[in-house]
Amino acid sequence: MTAYPGPRIFLLPLFLLPFLLAAPAAASTCYGRPGAGSIGAAVALPAGGTNFQAYSALGVQLGRTHVHGQVSDVLLDAYTALETSAPGKRFVYGETGLQAGGRMQPHRTHQNGLSVDFMVPVLDAQGRSVPLPSSPRNKFGYGVEFDAAGRAGALRIDYAALAEHLYALQRAAHARRIGIALVIFDPALMPALLATPRGKDLRSLPFMQRKPWVRHDEHYHVDFTVPCQPRKAQGKVIKAR
């Protein structure tokens, strides 16, 4: 009589279990436009990294730093590139959007995961790169006022670092095959930005030409372009931009 072996049992190494059990993350889907839209499967930006940080721990906890997944990839790629192109510089990102998108006071846009605020990089009185101060007293950085020379007390805008950041975003977006639809920065401060060594590389960016509704001196706003779906609201179809 021939004895047949029982069923074979294969044991997987335990370190592989998290990879097998974890479900793949859903891709983000944006709807409508930055000024009238929403988003599905948004991504929360990391609170910080080697050379960057969020504007506010409270803002992170309140869920005000969500973006489209492709936008997150561009932001992180840019910060990685800046470790080489702008070593020692500190960068701060501001508000982006809510997890499901929609209106986020007091912003007019930031509704479908494609809008990002970046606080201006600054130098202190000793010329050191430091994060823009953030507290409830200065509206978490949004209340800092820079004069026409780009100064606010002992701080001054680091235009060279700002230019390098915009250039890194431009290159990272191109590499990821997404676009930049709009950049908003105080027109009165634009000449100093374009006078930096990197300024000539920024002239193709779509800077807002008219005066913005708020100054945008302590931060600069970037709208990215990702294919979006139309959004239905109150019986109306809001087309994607």
DSSP state of 168: H
What is this structure's pTM? 0.86
pLDDT higher than 80, residue 40: yes
**64 Cβ contact list (under 8 Å, min separation 6):** 95, 96, 97, 98, 104
> In whole angstroms, what is the distance from residue 118 CA to residue 89 CA?
14
User: Which residue, among 225, 190, 194, has the nearest Cα to 208 in the 3D structure?
Assistant: 190
Q: What is the pLDDT of residues 164-221, one digit of tens each?
A: 999 999 999 999 999 999 999 999 999 999 999 999 999 999 999 877 777 798 999 9
Q: Show the domain range for 64.
A: 27-238
Residue 14 lies in a domain: no
Query: Helices (DSSP H) in 63-158: which residue ranges?
Result: 69-85
Query: Does some domain include residue 3?
Result: no
Local confidence band at 233 (pLDDT 50, 70, 90 cut-offs): low
pLDDT of the residue at 234: 45
Task: Please give the average per-residue pLDDT across 56-60, as a whole number.
Answer: 97
Q: Output Rg (C-alpha) for the chain, integer angstroms.
A: 22
Q: Quote the CA–CA distance of 39 and 102 in Å, as a whole number.
A: 8
The count of domains in the chain is: 1
Q: Is residue 79 domain-resident?
A: yes
Residue 146 has pLDDT above 70, yes or no: yes
What is the percent of the chain with per-residue pLDDT over 90, rounded to a whole number?
81
List, in sequence order, every beta strand (DSSP E) within the chain. Answer: 29-33, 36-40, 43-44, 52-54, 66-67, 91-93, 115-119, 122-123, 129-130, 151-152, 155-157, 179-184, 219-225, 231-233, 236-238
**Share above pLDDT 70 across residues of the chain, in percent, rounded to a whole number:** 85
Assigned domain for 105 exists: yes
- Is 117 part of any domain? yes
Tell me phi and psi for residue 95, to 5 degrees: -80, 150
At residue 231, the pLDDT reads 77
How would you class 94 by CB atoms within 10 Å of its CB: exposed for 0-12, middle for 13-18, buried for 19 or more?
A: buried
Count, residues in the chain = 241
Average pLDDT taken over every residue of the chain: 89
CATH number at residue 163: 3.30.1380.10
Q: Is the confidence at residue 89, as pLDDT, over 70?
A: yes
40, β-bridge pairs:
29
